[in-house]
């Protein structure tokens, strides 16, 4: 069984720009919220996407499954949580949730598989040791 790492929670407030005409969070914005959480995980663990980009290495989403459970509304406080699992030396899966901060009610969840590729060849590349060491 592979090791799971809990990333730090990301706290967000829903603004007017995040919502549709009904005042609900527009579905595509959950993807942005989850992306921010994945980026924070890398930053918190000393992994610079800018430095990787200079080496022609980029993280890409390979697969995503998302469940919209209940809508977040304008001015809601949200907590984005991520549990990270290493699938291989070149793939990670993020189990992510968007919860209402006050009630802890899950509003949206996703399984997101990311991989590291060479941006010139589009071929998978193994993670650097600093990332692999996180998983023991």
Q: Give the pLDDT of residue 4.
A: 85
- Output the domain CATH number for residue 19: 3.10.129.10
Q: What is the domain range of residue 27?
A: 4-135
> What sign does the CA torsion over 6, 103, 30, 48 have?
negative
Question: What does the alpha-carbon distance between residue 113 and residue 41 come to, in Å, rounded to a whole number?
Answer: 14
- In the chain, the percentage of residues whose pLDDT exceeds 90 is 81
Q: Give the pLDDT of residue 118.
A: 94
Q: Which helix (H) or strand (E) holds 54?
A: helix 49-54
What is the tens place of the pLDDT at every residue in 44-80?
A: 988 889 999 999 999 999 999 999 999 999 999 999 9
DSSP of 87-114, one letter per residue? Answer: EETTEEEEEEEEEETTT--EEEEEEEEE
State the total domains in the chain. Answer: 1
Question: What does the alpha-carbon distance between residue 42 and residue 60 come to, in Å, rounded to a whole number?
Answer: 13
| Catalytic residue set | 20
């Amino acid at each position: 069984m592979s090791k799971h790492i809990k990333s730090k929670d990301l706290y967000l407030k829903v603004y007017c720009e995040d919502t549709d005409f009904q005042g609900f969070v527009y579905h595509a914005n959950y993807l942005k919220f989850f992306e921010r959480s994945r980026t924070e995980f890398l930053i918190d663990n000393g992994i610079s996407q800018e430095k990787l980009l200079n080496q022609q290495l980029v993280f890409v989403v390979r697969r995503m499954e998302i469940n919209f459970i209940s809508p977040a509304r304008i001015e809601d406080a949200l907590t984005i949580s991520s549990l990270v699992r290493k699938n291989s030396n070149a793939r990670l899966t993020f189990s992510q949730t968007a919860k209402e901060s006050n009630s802890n009610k899950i509003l949206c969840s996703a399984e997101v598989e990311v991989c590291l590729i060479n941006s010139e060849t589009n071929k998978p590349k193994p993670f650097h040791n600093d990332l692999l060491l996180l998983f023991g």
